[in-house]
Amino acid sequence: MMGLGSRLLVMTTLVGLLPALTGCGFLRQVKTDELVMARQASLRGEQALRLGHWTHAERLYHQALQHSSNDHRAHRGYAEALWNRDARDTAIAHMEKAVRFSGEDPKVVVRLGEMYLANGDLTRAEYCAAQAISTDHALPTAWALKGNILFRAGKLDRALASFHRALSLQDRFPSVQLELTRIYRMQQRPRRALATLDVLSRGYESQATPQEVLFLHGLVLKDLGRYDDSVDRLTQAAQQGEPSARLLYELSESQWRAGSPDNARLSLLEALSLTPDHHPSRQLLARIESDRQGLTASMPR
């Protein structure tokens, strides 16, 4: 049986340990609260990113990182907000932290590689692509990144192989299908380009096809000598948002080749109103005017 002295010693020891035990629990609770606040701020940041509110998203992710500085989701979201505000170097620094704190998640590694590539750093982008593929061989975005790097380096056949690998893993991949189309055009394979665009276009509602898809479709049809069809596609592209001088020039060339010089002239004048020094438009306009003058001179008086 424990004596009075022994019992007092045990009680004294327990009382001495109580602050330490209470302190550990308090610290755990504080840490949990900080993580909850970080997650809540990150979730609001994700919503702001989806809405395109970059400054608001940046502020929310900054708050999240103040609560939890090693939260990879917050670093990644912060990087995306900064990237869209054209603070590229800082964005890359935070995406590098996102890679580290995520345990080198291959999806995060791919996004870092995409940023490197957009910034012109092919060496680091290539390293990211290789790392992501070695970690997850069936990740379509990793193969797409590899294809984009090879395309940028001018290695078209190898780029095609990587893009096709990405498509075999994800059958609808608009950015990859557009790059495939560009490579086929460069290789003078318009029928393959058209087949690729036909598959891509079927995935859109008729009024929701992006301008870039319609534009490339019009160019491929022009490559095939289908000028009336090209005019239709390029006209649709011009109606999908603000047309560029280049789009209007390509439309005018198709109109001219389709036998509508007056419409071509109007398209060229619109292109030059947007970009007065657009050289291809000036050249084609001069040619159309020369043809008109020649036709007028040849007419009987």
| Mean pLDDT on 219-224 | 98
State what percent of residues in the chain have pLDDT above 70.
86
With a cut of 70, say whether residue 22 has pLDDT above it.
no
Whether residue 185 contacts residue 217, with contact meaning beta carbons closer than 8 Å, is answered with no
Q: Which two tokens stand for residue 206?
A: 């008729």
Please give the structure tokens belonging to residue 13.
């020891």
**Residue 210 DSSP class:** -
Task: Flag the least confident range among 37-41, 42-46, 243-247, 258-262.
Answer: 37-41
| Sign of the alpha-carbon torsion through 253, 259, 263, 269 | positive
DSSP for 171-209, written as a single string: S--HHHHHHHHHHHHHTT-HHHHHHHHHHHHTTS-TT--
What is the token pair recorded at 140?
């379509």
Alpha carbon dihedral 270, 276, 277, 279, in 10-degree steps, equals 20
Say whether 172 sits in a helix, a strand or coil: coil
Would you say residue 8 has pLDDT above 50? Answer: no
Structure confidence by residue, pLDDT tens digits, 45-63: 899 999 999 999 999 999 9
Angstrom distance (rounded) from CA 70 to CA 75: 8
The domains of the chain, with CATH numbers, are 227-289 (1.25.40)
Q: What is the pLDDT of residue 41?
A: 84
**pLDDT tens, residue by residue, 35-44:** 778 788 888 9
Q: How confident is the model at residue 4 (pLDDT cuts 50, 70, 90)?
A: very low
pLDDT at residue 68, rounded to an integer: 87
Nearest to 58 by CA among 72, 79, 27: 79
Alpha-carbon gap, residue 140 to 168, rounded angstroms: 8
Q: Which amino acid is at 202?
A: R
Residue whose C-alpha is closest to residue 254's, from 273, 272, 228, 279: 228
What distance in Å separates the CA atoms of residue 156 and residue 78, rounded to the nearest whole number? Answer: 34
Q: Which residue has the tokens 């809405």?
A: 51
**pLDDT averaged over every residue in the chain:** 89
What is the reported pLDDT for 250?
A: 98
End-to-end CA distance of the chain: 136
In angstroms, rounded to a whole number, what is the distance separating the alpha carbons of residues 225 and 30?
Answer: 70
CA angle 9, 13, 15 (to 5 degrees): 115
